Chains A and B, each alone.
Chain A
Amino acid sequence: MTALTDQLALGLNSPICLTWEWTYACDLQCVHCLSSSGRRDPMELTTDEMKSIVDQLAEMQVFYVNIGGGEPMLRPDFFEVVEYCVERGVGVKFSTNGGRINSENARRLAAMDYVDIQISLDGVDPETNDAIRGDGSYSRVRTAMDHLRAAGFGPFKLSVVMTRENISQVDAYHALAAEYGAELRLTRFRPSGRGIDTWHDLHPTSAQQIELYNWLLAHPDVLTGDSFFHLSALGEPLPGLNLCGAGRVVCLIDPVGDVYACPFVLHDHFKAGSVRDDGGFARVWRSSDLFTELREPSNPGACGSCGSYDACGGGCMAAKFFTGLPLDAPDPECVFGHGETALAELEASGGAVRPSVSHDHSKPITHPNGVGKRRIPLSIVDR
């Protein structure tokens, strides 16, 4: 760690990277959805509450927010709140499945200053993509990309979650992004949300991870949202801060206003408070018990004797938590295999209890994907 990352670990006046999910409603049912989205929550924030949060963020000098969901464009006030953000100097980067990007909306977005779009695609062909995101989603997202290009939106971001099935296609994603004048963004598949059940079969193998690490070093133009910092233990650090920013530099506000330590830990265990509480978001960020605790020096635990702890910091808290590992265990995808060993030991001792989703919004429907008519993993529906 550098002196700067040491200081960042102690916490900041305001987050650097704030994810704000606008709705749990989604017309897709991706098998890796980190927020188990599907149905809107009746307690979701009202338009006035949303604007009040924007005011708070502007006051705290949060320069931009990453809007997600669910599918944020399904909110009827989507454009109204986006425009309000821009007006208040809070830039917007929003993640979308593209379903609502028709030609009219593409032109509307292109005309707005200070709005970035991340469009999600998880395969370079319908077969690979639709197995993750659902039948028909590939052609739909390509149509959305065509609309953005036709509207002259500019360099949007093409965002791909790396899985065992699609990681071999990185060059093709790179080419596809270039074809659209877009930027490529690759992110790590965490075992969060519906990923709790699908991660074990779909996360990249250790050989694939090493290939990805080398590929990322050779392609510094590719964005990663700092998500592969666990791979920095392989040697040369990847670009970025290379630290777990949970509650330190990042956090998440969910559609009902609850504040979590990071986008990948939507679980009661990592809930710091609510923007609806007295003192609003600033108070949760600056003085909640959970965030205060996360800003204390972390214990290297089982990683203490590893010479690479300074490089990877023990990896991703969410990945450990949702695979049932203690938070001071190695990352389940530790590049030296320590995580696999820890998981195997856990399994052997009969103690592999994986947390379930605290607030599941999945639709209890058959996944439209043709492969064996696989059902949405109902075991994670806990209410």
Chain B
Amino acid sequence: MNAPFDADRHWRLHERVALRPEPFGALAYHYDNRRLTFLRSPDLVALVESLSDQPSARAAFDAAGLAPGRWPAFEKALGSLAAGDFLVMEDAA
């Protein structure tokens, strides 16, 4: 079981994941586990791409200008990406 997504940690896209822009958002492909998944909105794509530049996922929500009411939905989406190993946590160092 994966731990629940921790939005206070620093996350980034796995280095073996490629994003392909699509009208609905993006298609993400993981070259290691060969999973394919959908990023179902352009906002989610922009958020995922900004994660590595922000100290935490929550900071990325804020920086992306997402209304706080939408944060739980994005947290859930990031959680499922993390569960599929599409996102990895940066070392806490």
Contact = CB atoms under 8 A, between A and B. Distances in A.
B20 A13 contact: yes
A16 interface: yes
Contacts of A8: 24
A14 B24 contact: no
Given A16-B36, A114-B31, A61 B20 contact: yes
Contacts of B21: 13
Contacts, number: 36
A114 B33 CA distance: 10
Nearest to B29: A63
Given A63-B29, A63-B36, A13 B22 contact: yes
Contact of A4 (B31, B34, B36, B38): B38
B27 interface: yes
Interface string A227-239: 0000000000000
Contacts of A10: 23
Nearest to A7: B24
Contacts of A3: 40
Contacts of B40: 3-4
A64 B20 contact: no
A8 B40 CA distance: 11
B38 A13 contact: no
B7 interface: no
Nearest to A93: B34
A61 B18 contact: yes
A12 B23 contact: yes
B24 A4 contact: yes
A91 B31 CA distance: 8
Interface in A45-65: 61, 63-64
B22 to A, nearest CB: 5
A11 B38 CA distance: 14
A91 B34 contact: yes
Contacts of A114: 31
Interface in A94-127: 114, 116
A10 B23 CA distance: 9
A12 B31 contact: no
A91 B29 CA distance: 11
B34 A64 contact: yes
A241 B21 CA distance: 19
A305 B34 CA distance: 40
Interface in B20-54: 20-24, 27, 29, 31, 34, 36, 38, 40
A9 to B, nearest CB: 11
A163 B90 CA distance: 50
Interface in A7-58: 7-8, 10-14, 16
A294 to B, nearest CB: 16
A280 B21 CA distance: 20
Given A16-B36, A63-B18, A63-B36, A7 B23 contact: yes
A8 B20 CA distance: 14
A16 B22 CA distance: 11
Contacts of B20: 13-14, 61, 63
A248 to B, nearest CB: 12
Interface of A: 3-4, 7-8, 10-14, 16, 61, 63-64, 89, 91, 114, 116
14 contacts: A4-B38, A4-B40, A8-B24, A13-B22, A13-B23, A14-B20, A16-B36, A63-B18, A63-B29, A63-B36, A64-B34, A89-B18, A89-B31, A114-B31
Given A61-B27, A63-B31, A63-B36, 9 more contacts: A7-B24, A11-B23, A12-B22, A13-B22, A63-B18, A63-B29, A64-B34, A89-B18, A91-B31
- 4 A-B pairs closest in CB distance: A63-B29, A7-B24, A61-B20, A12-B22
